């Protein structure tokens, strides 16, 4: 019985998929265990959510803002790990310098603090499903975040192009960084002597 005449069973399909995804033993390979690496390279799985769902859940990181009667807090959420970064005007570190914890100044300063923490933790791209009225303090918070180096556009997932596809996608890791000068994260920090 030839192979093509053999009935296709799920076991055979699974066997074929396993053979395709395991690396050949004669090929040299390394494993990068950094869980955030594939997200940075735009290869990692990203949930697509449901077609008519609002707000969508297609993101790696997203911004969430909660306002209460007295305080305002902004969190960065990961689709699997939940809240990973947060800042709130209820925090003593921020509150002690504010006049009021939910006025426009508080919103703007919260944006500055969260942007600073985002830059420190290397998470600068996230989606934002917050609807803000133009000119509102919420909108000013979002604007401050963007002005301080946080981008509300997350890149799309990079699909592997097959040989028979019409077009090839540019792979981000093949783009030469020669043209882009390496810039330090913080513009200039004052020099401190080692103790």
Chain centroid offset of residue 90 CA: 25
State the nearest-atom distance from the C-beta of 131 to other proteins, in Å. 22
State the nearest-atom distance from the C-beta of 6 to other proteins, in Å. 8
Closest CA relative to residue 101, chosen from 137, 133, 125: 137
3-state secondary structure of 88: strand
In contact, 90 and 120? CB cutoff 8 Å: no
Measured from the CB atom, is 140 or 152 closer to other proteins?
140
CA distance 91 to 113: 11
Measured from the CB atom, is 51 or 195 closer to other proteins?
195
State the nearest-atom distance from the C-beta of 168 to other proteins, in Å. 5
State the nearest-atom distance from the C-beta of 129 to other proteins, in Å. 19
Measured from the CB atom, is 42 or 128 closer to other proteins?
42
CA angle at residue 92 from 88 to 98, to 5 degrees?
80
In contact, 183 and 89? CB cutoff 8 Å: no
Measured from the CB atom, is 69 or 122 closer to other proteins?
122
């Amino acid at each position: 019985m030839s192979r093509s005449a053999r009935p296709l069973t799920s076991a055979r399909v699974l066997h074929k998929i396993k053979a395709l995804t395991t690396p050949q033993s004669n090929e040299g390979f390394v494993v990068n265990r950094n869980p955030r690496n594939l997200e940075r390279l735009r290869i990692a799985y990203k949930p697509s959510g449901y077609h008519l769902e609002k707000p969508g859940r297609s993101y790696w990181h997203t911004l969430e803002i909660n306002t209460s009667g007295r305080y305002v807090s902004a969190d960065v959420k990961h689709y699997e790990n939940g809240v990973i970064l947060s800042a709130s005007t209820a925090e003593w570190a921020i509150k002690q310098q504010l006049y009021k914890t939910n006025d426009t100044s508080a919103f703007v300063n919260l944006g500055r603090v969260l942007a600073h923490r985002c830059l420190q933790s290397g998470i600068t791209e996230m989606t934002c499903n917050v609807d803000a009225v133009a000119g509102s303090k919420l909108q000013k918070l979002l604007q401050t975040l963007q002005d301080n180096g946080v981008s509300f556009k997350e890149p799309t997932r990079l699909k592997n192009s097959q040989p028979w596809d019409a077009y090839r996608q540019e792979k981000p890791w093949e783009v030469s960084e020669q043209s882009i000068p390496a810039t330090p994260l913080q513009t200039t920090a004052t020099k401190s002597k080692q103790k």
